[in-house]
Amino acid sequence: MITPQSSLRRSERSRRATLDAALELCTEKGYGRVTVEAIAARAGVSKKTIYRWWTSKGAVLLEAFTDAFVGATPFVDTGDIARDLRTHINSAVRLTSTTPYGPAYAGILSEMHYDDALAEAVQEQLVGPRFAAAEARLRKAREQGQIPADADLPLAVEMLYGPVYYRHVLRKPPQDEATVASLVDHVLRSLGADPGSPG
Amino acid sequence: MITPQSSLRRSERSRRATLDAALELCTEKGYGRVTVEAIAARAGVSKKTIYRWWTSKGAVLLEAFTDAFVGATPFVDTGDIARDLRTHINSAVRLTSTTPYGPAYAGILSEMHYDDALAEAVQEQLVGPRFAAAEARLRKAREQGQIPADADLPLAVEMLYGPVYYRHVLRKPPQDEATVASLVDHVLRSLGADPGSPG
C-alpha cells in the first residue's frame, strides 16, 4: 500500500537520483549536451516524472547546484565577521571552481540569458536567498559593533561576491585563500571597519 | 586596379559592415540564433571572407563589442582618480546594459564556456588589455600620491569590475550613477585612500 509517507520517501529518492544523474552527465558530456531524456534514463525515472517537478534540465541542475551550495557555504557565526566571511567566500570559490558544480553553474549562467523562467528561478531559489543570508550575517556584525552603523551592506555583498563571479564567468583561475583574505579585509575596511580587530 | 591601399580600404569597409550586421542580427534574433551565413548575407560579403578574418560568430561579435567598449570607456586622466573611475565604470555599466552591446556580450560570455578559442580571444583582446589599462590608471594615481604606495591594484580592479559583471551575468538591474559613485569611494577607501580629497 502506498501511504503518503512512502510516496514522499520515493519522491525524495527519485529527486536525489535525478539531481545526481544530471550532475554526472554534466561532468561527462558538458552542460550543452545534457538532455532530460538522458537524465531520466540515468536516474531510472520517467521523463514525465522529471517534467512533473522541473521545467527544464537547467532547473534540475539549478536545484542540484543550490543544494550543494547551501550545504557547502553556511554563514557561520563565530563572532568574528572577517573570519566568517573568509570561511564563506573560500567555500563559494571552492565549490564554483570544482567539478561537477563549477561547470554546472557556468552552464546555468549561460542558459539563463535565453531562458527567462530559469533566470527567475536562479534569482528566487539561489541568488536572492544567499544574498539575504550574507546581508543578515553582516547586519549581525553591525549590531555587534564590528561594522559601523552607516555601512552599506548590499554594496558590501556585491563587493564580496562580484570578484568571485568575475573570475568564474571569465574562466580565470579562482582566488586562493590569501586573495580571499585580502578581499574580505578590503571590503571590511571599505565599510569603515577595522578588519584587524573585530569586536 | 587594386592597390594595397584600396584593398585595405575595402577590407575596413567589409570589416565594419560585418561587425554592424552581426550586432543588428544579435538584436533582432538573439545571440543564439545568429549564424555566420546570415551575417555574410546582411553585410554583403561572402562567408569565405568572414572566415578569413574570424573563427566564429562569437569572434565577430567579440570584435564588435571590443571596438565599442574601448571607444566608450577610455581611461581619462583629469588628475582626480575617483572622478575618472566613476566616468569609466559608468560608461562600462551603460554599454553592457544597453542593446546591442549588452546582449552581445552576454552571448559571448555564455559561448566562451564551451569555446576555448573564444575564451582565449576574450582574454587577449578584451579583458587583458582593459584590466591592464585600469591598473595603469590606478598606478598613476598611486604615483601621484592619491593612493597609498602599498595598495593592491589588481585587487582594486576586480573590486571595481566584479560588481558590474555580477549584475550583468545575473540579469539584475544595472548600477545607477549613485551606486557607481559609492562603489568607487568604497574601493578607494579599501585601499587606504581618502576618496573625498584626491591629490
Contacting A with CB below 8 Å, chain B residues are 30-32, 103, 106-107, 109-114, 119, 122-123, 127, 152, 155, 158-159, 161-167, 169-172, 179, 182-183, 186-187, 189-192
Count the neighbouring beta carbons within 10 Å of the beta carbon of residue B116.
Answer: 10
- The pLDDT profile of chain A, 199 residues, written as one tens digit per residue, is 445 555 555 589 999 999 999 999 999 998 989 999 999 999 999 999 999 999 999 999 999 999 999 999 988 899 999 999 999 999 999 999 999 999 999 999 999 988 999 999 999 999 999 999 999 999 999 999 999 999 999 999 999 999 999 999 999 999 999 999 999 999 999 999 986 644 3
Tell me the pLDDT tens digit for each residue of A19-76.
Answer: 999 999 999 998 989 999 999 999 999 999 999 999 999 999 999 999 999 999 988 8
Tell me the pLDDT tens digit for each residue of B135-168.
Answer: 999 999 999 999 999 999 999 999 999 999 999 9
Instruction: Compute the nearest-CA separation of B133 from chain A (Å).
Output: 17
Domain covering A55-190, topology: Tetracycline Repressor; domain 2 (1.10.357)
Spell out the domain ranges in chain A.
Answer: 55-190
Given its phi and psi angles, is residue A5 left (phi above 0), alpha (psi -120 to 50 degrees) or beta?
Answer: alpha
Task: Round to whole Å and give the CA distance between A36 and B110.
Answer: 21
Instruction: Compute the nearest-CA separation of B113 from chain A (Å).
Output: 7
- DSSP H stretches of helix in B30-76: 36-43, 47-53, 57-72
DSSP class of residue B3 equals -
CATH 1.10.357.10 holds for B54-190: yes
Q: Which residues does chain B have with pLDDT short of 70?
A: 1-10, 195-199
Give pLDDT, residue B199: 36
Give pLDDT, residue B108: 95
**Residue A81: helix, strand or coil by DSSP?**
helix
Give pLDDT, residue A114: 85
CA dihedral A70, A72, A76, A78 (to 10 degrees): 180
Q: Grid cell 559571448 — which residue?
A: B108
User: Which cell numbers in the block locate residue A83?
Assistant: 573570519
